[in-house]
Amino acid sequence: MKNTMTILGFLALFPAGAALAGDDCFVPMADWQPRDAVQRLAEDNGWTVRRIKIDDGCYEIKGRDAGGRRIEVTVHPGTLEVIEFEYEDDDDDDEGRRRDREGRNRD
């Protein structure tokens, strides 16, 4: 009976632990690096920043790399470690679609 209660207690807490694990960067705000430090990180890597936002508790940088390719970078807010780096598809180019609507040719 004690084993059953122990297992049930563990299973009751498991979903809460799984929910916390879903936040990639669970860090108290007091321990976050300032947004200026994220901007410097981007500049040091040769990235041009279009936007820095918070997503799932992480900093998310949207911009372009040194070669001009669109990027999305997820950064840990406490350590400024790059967690994920993605190149955005050219097909999803919002700016290009906006130019098309304005009647200009897209390259």
Residue 79: which CATH number? 3.10.450
Position 91 pLDDT exceeds 90: no
How many domains is the chain partitioned into structurally? 1
Is residue 42 situated within a structural domain? yes
Of residues 34 and 16, the one with the higher pLDDT is: 34
Of residues 59 and 90, the one with the higher pLDDT is: 59
Average pLDDT, the chain: 78
Closest CA to 24 of 51, 50, 58: 58
pLDDT band of 2, cuts 50, 70, 90: low
C-alpha 85/C-alpha 73 separation (Å) is 5
Position 31 pLDDT exceeds 80: yes
What is the number of other CB atoms lying within 10 angstroms of the CB of residue 28?
A: 8
Position 105 pLDDT exceeds 80: no
Is residue 80 situated within a structural domain? yes
Mean pLDDT value across residues 43-68: 97
pTM for the model: 0.63
